[in-house]
């Protein structure tokens, strides 16, 4: 049982760091169209939240 915790303590942070690096590299190489679509989506979500909170 102790070996499982040791393994999780070591692999957990390594997997998290790997996911962060992967996301950073993937977002760094995004095209203008992808960035524009992401901005539009974020704006729509913010507007949706404002409409929901201010009836």
For residue 2, what pLDDT is reported? 81
The total of structural domains in the chain comes to 1
Which has the higher per-residue pLDDT, 53 or 40?
40
Structural domain range at position 23: 2-53
Query: What are the distances in angstroms from CA 55 to CA 15, 41, 42?
Result: 42, 21, 20
C-alpha span between 52 and 39 (Å, rounded): 20
Look at residue 55 and tell me whether its pLDDT is greater than 80.
Answer: no
- Average pLDDT of the chain to the nearest whole number: 91
**Tokens 């950073």 -> residue:** 24
pTM of the prediction? 0.54
């Amino acid at each position: 049982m102790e070996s499982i915790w040791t393994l999780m303590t070591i692999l957990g942070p390594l997997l998290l760091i790997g996911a962060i690096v992967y996301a950073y590299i993937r977002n760094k190489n995004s095209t203008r169209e992808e960035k524009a679509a992401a901005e539009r989506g974020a704006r729509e979500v913010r507007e949706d939240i404002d409409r929901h909170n201010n009836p």
